[in-house]
C-alpha cells in the first residue's frame, strides 16, 4: 500500500489541523495493523487491531495514549487574555510535510473543538479575522492595540448573531468602509488608476463575502436580532458591488440547489457532464451564465411554485435594470463597479460548483456522501468559512459553519462506510483545473484515504477510482437511479 505524507500547511486553521492530524493518525494505525498482521508470529510491535471499526468493521481499537497536558497559555477565553499567548503554545508547530501518526487523543480533540465553539468555556475562541487565528492576531498586533482589540471583540460578539462570528462584523465594517465609498467615488469622478485598485481590492473581497452571504441565506441573517433591519438591508447595498444579483443566490442555492441536491432537476447538476472534459465544462458554464435568468423562474413554475418563479424573475431582471441605469449615468464606473464583478463571480461560482460535485458515485449518485466532497485546505476553510466541508453542509444545510470540523470528526466512521471522498491541500478551483487537465495523479496524491477500501488502494488505484467518479451519466442511468426524482 502507498500512503503519501499529508501536507500540513502552516496556514491551516486550528480546527483543520486537529482534524487532519486525526485522519493522519487513522492512516498510521491502519498501516501498523496491516504490518503487524503480515509479520511473522511473535514479531508484532503493537497490539493487533487498529481502529478496525474504521477499516475492517471488526476488533477493538488499541489503547490510546493519555491526553497531553493543557498548554501553559490556552486559546482566548471568554474574557479574552490580558496578554496574547504565543501560537507555539497553542498550536502544533507548523511544517511543510508531516507524516501521519502523532498519538492523537481522539476524545481530547473532539472536546477541544467543542470548547472552541462554546462561549461558556474558557477555551472559547471567536473568529475575528480570516488571516489570523485569535492568538496569532494578538501576537501580530502591537501591544498598544491589545486593549482596543479586546474591547472590539467584546462589542462585536454582541453584534453578531452567533458569538463565534465576530469575523462577519469585521468584514461588514471593512466592506462598508472601503467598497462602498470607493464605488461612489468612481461614479463621481472616474479614473483608471482608481479603477484598477478598486478591482484588485474587490478580487480579495468577493470570495469571503459570498460565503458570508452563504451563511446569511441559510441562517436567515448573521447579525444579532437587535440589528435585524440592518441585517436585512445590507445585502441590497452590497450584493451588486460584490457581483451578486439581488436575492438570486438565496433562490438558486437554498430554494433550488439544496432541494434537488445535484440531481437531474438541479440546474447546476454535474451528472450529465463528463467532469474531466473542457468542452463539457464550457457547456455547463455557458448554460448557467447566459440562461439562469430564464431557467430558474421556469424551474419554479414547473415545480408549481409560481410565487418563487415571479420573485426570482423580478429580482434578477431588476438587478439588470439597475445596472443599466448605472451604466447610463457613468459607463466606465458601471463596468468596473458592477458589470465586471457580476461577470467574474458567475464564472467563479460555476468553477466552484463543478469542483464541489465533480466526483459522483456511479452506484449511488443521490447520496450526499457520494455526490459531494470534503476539503481540508486554507482557501476554502480559513478564508471562506469552512466551505470545504461541503458534504457536511449537504447533510445538514442549517449546520453553523464553525460546527463542520467537529461534525465531520464525529461522523468520519460513517463517511468511511459510505465511501465519501476527502481531499487536502487543494481547493475547489484546484480540483476543477486538475480535472480539466485530467491530472488524476495529482488528485490521488491530495486524497486523504478513509476506510479500508480507500486505504488498500495504491496511488494508481486511487487515480482509477477517482476517474470512475467523473463519468457522465446516460439518460437511461439517470431514469433508473433517480426514478423518483427524474422528470
- Give the largest CA-CA distance in the chain: 84
Looking at the DSSP bridge assignments, the partners of residue 375 are: 423
What is the structure's pLDDT at 385?
Answer: 97
Nearest Cα to 352, choosing from 243, 430, 283? 430
pLDDT tens over the chain, length 487 residues? 333 479 999 999 999 999 999 999 998 888 777 777 766 665 555 544 444 445 443 333 333 334 444 333 333 333 343 333 333 333 333 333 444 444 668 889 999 999 999 999 999 999 999 999 998 889 988 988 899 999 999 999 999 999 999 999 999 999 999 999 999 999 999 999 999 999 999 999 999 999 999 999 999 999 999 999 999 999 999 999 999 999 999 999 999 999 999 999 999 999 999 999 999 999 999 999 999 999 999 999 999 999 999 999 999 999 999 999 999 999 999 999 999 999 999 999 999 999 999 999 999 999 999 999 999 999 999 999 999 999 999 999 999 999 999 999 999 999 999 999 999 999 999 999 999 999 999 999 999 999 889 999 999 999 999 999 999 999 999 999 887 544 4
What is the structure's pLDDT at 18?
Answer: 95
CB atoms within 10 A of CB 150: 17
Measure the CA–CA gap between 111 and 115, rounded to whole angstroms.
6
What phi, psi does 160 have (nearest 5°)?
Answer: -70, 150
Measure the CA–CA gap between 378 and 7, rounded to whole angstroms.
11
What is the structure's pLDDT at 286?
Answer: 97
What is the structure's pLDDT at 31?
Answer: 78
Q: Using an 8 Å Cβ cutoff, are 98 and 8 in contact?
A: yes
Nearest Cα to 162, choosing from 112, 216, 211, 213? 216
What is the structure's pLDDT at 253?
Answer: 97
| SS3 sequence of the chain | CCCCCECCCCCCCHHHHHHHHHHHHHHHHHHHHHHHHHCCCCCCCCCCCCCHHHHCCCCCCCCCCCCCCCCCCCCCCCCCCCCCCCHHHHCCCCCCCECCCCCCCHHHHHHHHHHHCCCCCCCCCCCCCCCCCHHHHHHHCCHHHHHHHHHHHHHHHHHECCHHHHHHHHHHHHHHHHHHHHHHHHHHCCCHHHHHHHHHHHHHHHHHHHHHHHHHHHHCCCECHHHHHHHHHHHHHHCHHHCCCCCHHHHHHHHHHHHHCCCCCCCCCCCCCCCCCHHHHHHHHHHHHHHHHHHHHHHHHHCCCHHHHHHHHHHHHHHHHHHHHHHHHCHHHHHHHHHHHHHHHHHHHHHHHHHHCCCCCCCCCCCHHHHCEEEECHHHHCCCCCCCEHHHHHHCCCCCHHHHHHHHHHHHHHHHHHCCEEEECCCHHHHHHHHHCCCHHHHHHHECCCHHHHHCCCHHHHHHHHHHCCCCCCHHHHHHHCCCCCC
What is the structure's pLDDT at 29?
Answer: 86
Half-sphere exposure of 259 (CA within 13 A, CB side): 14
Measure the CA–CA gap between 39 and 405, rounded to whole angstroms.
36
Nearest Cα to 418, choosing from 375, 461, 368? 368
Question: CB within 8 A of 233, min separation 6: which ones?
Answer: none
What is the structure's pLDDT at 452?
Answer: 86
Measure the CA–CA gap between 126 and 290, rounded to whole angstroms.
40
What is the structure's pLDDT at 71?
Answer: 38
What is the structure's pLDDT at 42?
Answer: 55
Alpha-carbon dihedral sign for residues 435, 441, 445, 449: positive
> Given its phi and psi angles, is residue 451 left (phi above 0), alpha (psi -120 to 50 degrees) or beta?
left
Nearest Cα to 330, choosing from 140, 185, 452, 437? 185
Q: Using an 8 Å Cβ cutoff, are 430 and 442 in contact?
A: no
> Angle formed by the axes of helices 166-188 and 228-238, to 10°?
40
**Distance set, CA 149 to CA 89, 153, 166, 485 (Å):** 21, 6, 12, 52
Q: How many residues does the chain have?
A: 487
Amino acid at each position: 500500500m502507498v500512503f503519501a505524507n499529508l501536507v500540513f500547511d502552516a496556514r491551516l486553521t486550528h480546527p483543520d489541523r486537529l482534524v487532519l492530524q486525526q485522519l493522519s493518525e487513522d492512516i498510521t494505525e491502519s498501516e501498523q495493523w496491516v504490518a503487524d498482521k503480515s509479520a511473522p508470529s511473535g514479531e508484532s510491535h503493537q497490539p493487533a487491531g487498529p481502529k478496525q471499526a474504521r477499516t475492517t468493521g471488526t476488533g477493538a481499537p488499541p489503547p490510546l495514549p493519555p491526553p497531553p497536558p493543557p498548554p501553559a497559555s490556552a486559546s482566548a477565553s471568554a474574557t479574552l487574555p490580558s496578554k496574547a499567548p504565543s501560537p507555539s503554545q497553542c498550536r502544533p508547530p507548523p511544517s511543510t510535510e508531516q507524516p501521519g501518526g502523532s498519538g492523537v487523543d481522539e476524545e481530547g480533540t473532539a472536546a477541544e473543538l467543542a470548547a472552541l465553539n462554546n462561549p461558556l468555556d474558557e477555551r472559547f475562541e471567536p473568529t475575528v479575522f480570516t488571516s489570523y487565528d485569535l492568538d496569532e492576531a494578538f501576537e501580530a498586533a502591537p501591544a498598544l492595540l491589545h486593549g482596543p482589540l479586546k474591547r472590539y471583540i467584546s462589542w462585536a460578539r454582541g453584534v453578531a448573531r452567533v458569538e463565534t462570528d465576530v469575523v462577519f462584523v469585521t468584514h461588514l465594517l471593512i466592506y462598508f468602509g472601503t467598497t462602498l465609498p470607493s464605488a461612489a467615488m468612481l461614479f463621481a469622478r472616474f479614473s483608471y488608476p482608481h479603477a484598477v485598485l478598486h478591482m484588485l481590492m474587490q478580487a480579495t473581497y468577493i470570495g469571503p463575502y459570498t460565503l458570508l452571504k452563504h451563511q446569511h441565506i441559510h441562517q436567515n441573517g448573521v447579525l444579532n436580532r437587535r440589528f435585524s433591519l440592518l441585517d436585512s438591508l445590507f445585502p441590497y447595498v452590497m450584493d451588486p458591488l460584490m457581483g451578486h444579483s439581488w436575492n438570486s443566490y438565496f433562490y438558486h442555492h437554498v430554494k433550488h440547489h439544496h432541494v434537488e441536491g445535484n440531481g437531474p432537476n438541479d440546474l447546476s447538476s454535474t451528472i450529465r457532464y463528463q467532469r474531466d472534459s473542457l468542452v463539457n465544462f464550457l457547456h455547463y458554464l455557458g448554460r448557467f451564465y447566459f440562461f439562469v435568468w430564464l431557467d430558474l423562474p421556469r424551474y419554479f413554475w414547473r415545480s408549481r411554485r409560481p410565487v418563487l418563479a415571479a420573485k426570482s424573475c423580478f429580482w434578477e431582471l431588476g438587478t439588470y435594470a439597475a445596472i443599466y441605469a448605472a451604466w447610463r449615468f457613468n459607463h466606465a464606473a458601471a463596468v468596473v463597479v458592477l458589470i465586471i464583478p457580476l461577470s467574474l463571480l458567475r464564472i467563479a461560482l460555476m468553477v466552484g460548483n463543478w469542483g464541489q460535485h465533480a466526483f459522483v458515485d456511479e452506484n449511488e449518485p443521490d447520496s450526499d456522501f457520494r455526490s459531494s466532497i470534503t476539503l481540508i485546505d486554507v482557501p476554502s476553510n480559513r478564508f471562506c468559512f469552512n466551505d470545504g466541508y461541503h458534504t457536511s453542509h449537504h447533510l445538514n444545510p442549517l449546520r453553523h459553519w464553525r460546527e463542520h470540523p467537529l461534525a465531520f470528526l464525529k461522523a468520519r466512521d460513517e463517511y468511511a462506510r459510505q465511501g465519501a471522498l476527502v481531499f487536502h491541500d487543494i481547493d475547489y478551483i484546484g480540483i476543477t483545473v486538475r480535472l480539466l487537465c485530467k491530472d488524476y495523479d495529482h488528485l490521488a496524491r491530495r486524497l486523504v484515504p478513509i476506510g479500508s477500501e480507500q486505504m488498500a488502494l495504491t496511488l494508481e488505484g486511487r487515480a482509477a477510482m477517482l476517474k470512475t467518479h467523473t463519468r457522465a451519466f446516460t439518460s437511461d442511468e439517470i431514469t433508473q437511479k433517480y426514478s423518483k426524482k427524474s422528470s
